[in-house]
Structure 1
Amino acid sequence: MFTCTTAEYESAPAGKKYDYQRPLKRETQIALWLCLGTLCRIGELLMAKPEHVDLDKGIWFIPRSNAKGRRQQKQEQTVFLSPFTKRLFKELKDLTGEAEWLFPARNKVGQESHICLKTVSRQVGDRQTRFKKRSKPLSHRRHDDSLVLDGGKNGEWTPHDLRRTGATMMQEMGIALDIIDRCQNHVMPGSKVRRHYLHYDYAGEKTEAWRRLGERIEEVLVTQLQV
């Protein structure tokens, strides 16, 4: 999705980078790949802290307070990281350093917080301006079509669409729909009594689903680089 643009920019000769389109920040690229590879919501990811991600165990814990949904339907989630998403989280931690958040708001002097939950969506939207009704470019914002996909045939895309794309990829690989729902942290249908008594967490099935998704994404990336 972003590899060629980034490679071209980084390989540009000194003093010539202004001739190239500056790619998304690496942290933003990682956020988008993680949305695809884990099926998470972008807000859940941007509120993550380093202690939520255990690279040794290969898990990312999403606390109930960070999950989206109605108050009574919010539920915590444990994401079992594939080798693909584990590498991304490791790189993100290396970039973040000792910050309290994995996506720290660096512009808030004397106050530590995560970046605005709309930041990544805005960056993606600012690079698809053909779909925006703007009379002029917004101040201090990008204004181009560098992230328009497939000539814009399917319209504008958002980080949330990557969650749906990842789920569709799982479906194409034959992964059971109820496992996909659990990977997306959907509240499962059924009576409250059933949910109260049946506590099997499907950890093994979800681990396998995320692993297969990560492998599939990497296969696609390798194919694209060979074109």
Structure 2
Amino acid sequence: MRPNIAPTATQISRRASRGVWQYAVATARAPRDITSDIKKALKPHIKENHPAITDPVELGELLRASMAYRGGPVMRVALRMAAILFQRPGNLRTMRWEDVDMDKGLWAIPSEDMKRTKVQKINGQAHTVPLPRQAVAFLKALEPLTGGGEYVFPGLRDRKAPMSEAGVNAALHAMGYKGRHCWHGYRATGRTILRQVLKYPTDVIEAQLAHKGQITHGGAYDRATHIEERGEMLQTWADYLDKLAAGADVIEFKRA
């Protein structure tokens, strides 16, 4: 007799169950969505925070470990750029040379590559990321190695494809940061220290994180980019990271 290996109701998330039943109703496979009837029996979706280092001293240690990482120059630059720019991993690992202007110190992420709704992707402008001097220097050092291809950070096995997020997290694990910090965690690192230690305005930080994008009454993507403020902020941030990496005295983060 074949064993019953179907998951129980408590093993299925509420969100997944609702999606299944809504699809069933839409395709005439079920008369209605029954998830409201069994709501209490369904396991709620619990969002977990990505592990991230938010202490300046520990961040300095991470930066030094990244510089000493033996996995190759492309990975070392990726790790440093993640700390400086704190963009979404999917955007950074697919960074294209054609979107980078090193003379102007700007990286324009196409709207269709951003985490936006379909309408926002169509109507939105590119998310422009200022590149501080340190980021430009890293890119110039990497250009002879990867500049002949499409991606700034190509994959190790397939140079025509971007590096994988798993590869960067594997590097962090090899450096001893498994469970302590991940690639996505650089976003929390930048946001926390810039606000709590360097005292930058929340709206400027959120603009750098590309969290501010709402649809305006005119139907266009919000154009309040704070580009000048972000350029100044990121240069200060990159200089601060250099001090942390050098082991300089820093203002420690005061925990609540």
DSSP-derived class of the 2:107 partner? strand
Q: Give 2:167's aligned amino acid.
A: T
* Identical residues among aligned pairs (%): 23
Hey, what's the Cα distance between the residues in 2 that align with 1:4 and 1:119? 16
* C-alpha distance in structure 1 between counterparts of 2:133 and 2:189, whole Å: 19
Query: Looking at both structures, which has the greater relative contact order when contacts are Cα pairs under 8 Å and sequence separation is at least 6?
Result: 2
Whole-angstrom CA distance in 1 between matches of 2:134 and 2:141: 11
1:218 and 2:242 correspond: yes
Aligned to 2:135: 85
Q: CA RMSD in A?
A: 2.8
2:200 counterpart of 1:175: yes
Aligned match of 2:4: none
Q: C-alpha separation between the residues in 1 aligned to 2:156 and 2:75?
A: 14
State how 1:156-195 maps to structure 2 within 5 Å: 156-171=180-195, 172-188=197-213, 192-193=216-217
Match of 1:42 among 89, 92, 109: 89
CA deviation string 1:116-145 (max 9, x = no partner): 3432123323x2xxxxxxxxxxxxxxxxxx
Q: Which runs of 5+ in 1 are unaligned?
A: 8-21, 128-145
Q: Are the equivalent residues in 1 in contact too, given 2:84–2:135 (CA < 8 A)? A: yes
In our comparison, the structure showing a higher alpha carbon Rg is: 2
Cα deviation, 1:121-179, whole Å, max 9, x if unaligned, reads 23323x2xxxxxxxxxxxxxxxxxx323xxx8xx4310111121112221121110000
Report what 1:104 is aligned to. 154
Verify the 8 A CA contact 2:131 2:231 in the aligned structure 1.
Answer: yes
Provide the aligned length of Structure 1 versus Structure 2. 184
* Gapped regions of structure 2 (runs ≥ 5): 1-61, 249-256
Between the aligned partners of 1:165 and 1:6, the Cα distance in structure 2 is 18
Amino acid at match of 2:201: A
Q: Which amino acid aligns with 1:114?
A: P
Q: Could you tell me whether the CA contact under 8 Å between 1:54 and 1:60 is conserved in 2?
A: yes
2:101 pairs, out of 54, 73, 78, with 54
Corresponding residue SS for 2:108? strand
Structure 1 CA distance for aligned equivalents of residues 130 and 63 of structure 2: 25
Q: 1:210 is matched by which residue type in structure 2?
A: L
AA aligned opposite 2:168: V
1-structure distance, mates of 2:113, 2:187: 17
Structure 2 Cα separation of the partners of residues 120 and 69 of structure 1: 24
In 1, are the aligned partners of 2:216 and 2:222 still within 8 Å (CA)? no
Corresponding residue for 2:176? 147
User: Aligned in 2, Cα 1:195/1:180: closer, same or farther, shift over 3 Å?
Assistant: farther
